[in-house]
Amino acid sequence: MKRGGELQRGSGLVRRSALGRVPKMGRADGAREAIEAMAFPKRKSMKRSRSVMTPLRKSAQGEGCTIQKVGACLHDPKTVVLVHMRWLGDCGGSLKPTDLQAVYACSGCNRWTDSPTPAETADRAAYEAERDFYCLRALVRTQLRMVAKGLITVKGIAV
């Protein structure tokens, strides 16, 4: 079997009109293009949207880790990035979570939340409860820092 030949980018799974298989529809080109655009809307690939450095993602540079999981945290600001908490929902497939659903986290804590070892998840319920505690605390810490920097504004709160 030829591997990778069928699903390569630009190899056929393009915005090709179903109408193209019925060449004599009697429509002007402009109308056909409009129909194609509606039937196959352009989607941003996850990889492309991930690489965009939003102000909130940039703000992670030089920050301290907000998760600080005992035994996993590196306590090294050089490894801190804005880590999205996908397990909370509101994402999936090509939908990425909003930057408000993210925390400043070092690579050690990022690994612990994203790819825990089997030993760390031997008691899955305990792991998830601990992860949720650390990440809820980290979310509050992160958002308070973002508010202090003027990166996010929330009406009606006392800071």
- The site map against Zn ion for 84-113 (x = CB under 5 A) is ----------------------x--x----
Tokens of 106: 């070092």
Give me the least distance between CB of 52 and Zn ion, in Å please: 24
Determine the straight-line distance between the first and last CA of the chain, rounded to whole angstroms.
61
**Quick one: 62 or 93, whose CB is closer to Zn ion?**
62
**Binding of Zn ion at residue 83 (CB under 5 A)?**
no
Asked if 139 is part of the footprint of Zn ion (rule: CB under 5 A), the reply reads no
| Shortest distance in whole angstroms from residue 148 CB to Zn ion | 20
Of 43-82, binders to Zn ion (CB under 5 A) are 65, 67, 73
Tokens of 159: 């800071």
Closest distance of CB 64 from Zn ion, Å: 8
Smaller CB separation from Zn ion, 67 or 82: 67
**Structure tokens belonging to residue 107:** 């690579």
- Give the nearer residue to Zn ion in terms of CB position, either 65 or 102: 65
Residue length, the chain?
159
Residues in binding contact with Zn ion, number by CB under 5 A? 5
Under the rule (CB under 5 A), what is the footprint of Zn ion? 65, 67, 73, 106, 109
